[in-house]
Amino acid sequence: MSKQTTRRKQVVVIGSSHSIKTELDIAYQVGKEIALRNFTLITGGRTGVMEAASKGAKEHGGLVIGILPSRYFEEANPYCDVIIPTGAGYMRNSINVLAADMVISIGGASGTLNELAFAWNYDKKIVALSNSGGWSAKLAGKAIDDRRTDIIIDAPDMATVMRELDQLAIDTSE
């Protein structure tokens, strides 16, 4: 006989480790909203967008997991509660998005593009903040290719992000 358990939803925030202030402010707010909904935040565990989202979640009582590309615990930002060193380099991006019920993309350079492609291939719900620049702005509201019938959700503001997070909270199919 199996025991019914309730799993916390897991939201992965992706974005560049070298970010501008606007991206960092957005990432902090996203992390905060994830924590306020009692979701687990997962990031690549390092600096930039990852650290800002982690700080927002941590300062609002959230659980923060950092999945590192390296094998060194000390490379994690100080807001990670759980640190998973992979030693896998960019291949850790696959692990990050596989752990997601939803992926939120903020800004981003080539590493973020790689994570977006993995998330697309793994059929993850993707929300891209089009007001944050980078690959998030370029791909928001678009399909990466024809293997899926949906699109990357365009979130031009925090209200849209909050609506998508609220939908995730009530979605029982995940």
pLDDT tens digits along 22-59: 999 999 999 999 999 999 999 999 999 999 999 999 99
Write down the pLDDT at residue 174.
46
Domain of residue 81 covers: 10-170
Mean pLDDT estimate for the chain: 95
5: in domain: no
Position 6 pLDDT exceeds 90: no
Residue 91 lies in a domain: yes
Q: Which of 54, 49, 52, 48 is nearest to 66 (CA)?
A: 54
Q: How many domains does the chain have?
A: 1
Residue 16 lies inside a defined structural domain of this protein = yes
N-term to C-term CA, the chain: 22
- Residue 63 is part of a domain; what is its CATH number? 3.40.50.450
pTM: 0.95
Residue 131 lies in a domain: yes
- Residues 91-118 pLDDT 10s: 999 999 999 999 999 999 999 999 999 9
158 part of a folded domain: yes
Does residue 3 belong to any structural domain of this protein?
no
